[in-house]
Amino acid sequence: MAEAIRFHLDPRCPWCWQTSKWVRRLHEIGEVNASWGLFSLEVVNFTRPIEEFDMTTSIAAPSQRTFVSVRESLGQDAASKYYETLGHRYFELEQDLQQESTVKGALSDAGIDTAHYDTAMADPATWEVVLGEHLDLVNNSRSFGVPTIRLDGGSGPAIFGPVISNPPTNDDDAVNLWKSIAWLTRYENFSELKRNRTIDPDLALYRTYTGKQAGKK
């Protein structure tokens, strides 16, 4: 029986994006029943009172607010597809995540009415949903970043990760990784595993970024 999980995402994070490909495949083969929630890296890194956070200048807020509109109107499958096409435009085509054309293009790619962008931008409540989901995860699940997976359909224990450079190339590895993560998530005595990265993510945006960083040295 597929285990119900909620995958919390920020569309800016390449590690979250790579891990989401693995989760999406687990959903496709019936290993998990994935739903999709939000997290804000900009909010978690904001050092002033949250009341001073300006969503109108946020890089990710337009795409996140549109995600809320899609999910609440069309359901989880549509939200998953939108995140998939948005990630492709951002990480592979290197389009500006803050631009209306990028978000509307992703909606169109997913077969979703682009009016969801306009609806989301006209309704301040969409940002309240983003912020509410973020704060709930931080305050009630001890989460501090993405990807975060929460078990029991989003009401159970949560864990940051797994942080993977690239999704598993076969379903056996995908399922074995999931079983390990699920066990650790339910094991309250466990808190952390970490090691240095040896494989970079296979993403155009990441290659561009690391190339620019190398050029500054």
Q: Record the pTM.
A: 0.94
Question: CATH code at 23?
Answer: 3.40.30.10
Domain that holds residue 89: 3-216
Number of domains in the chain: 1
Quick check: 142 pLDDT over 80?
no
Q: What is the pLDDT of residue 1?
A: 85
Question: How many Å apart are CA 212 and CA 217, to the nearest integer?
Answer: 9
Using alpha carbons only, give the angle 19, 7, 67 rounded to the nearest 5 degrees. Answer: 105
Bridge-partner residues for 148, per DSSP? 8, 160
pLDDT per position as a tens digit, 93-116: 999 999 999 999 999 999 999 999
The distance of Cα 163 from the centroid of its chain, to the nearest Å, equals 12
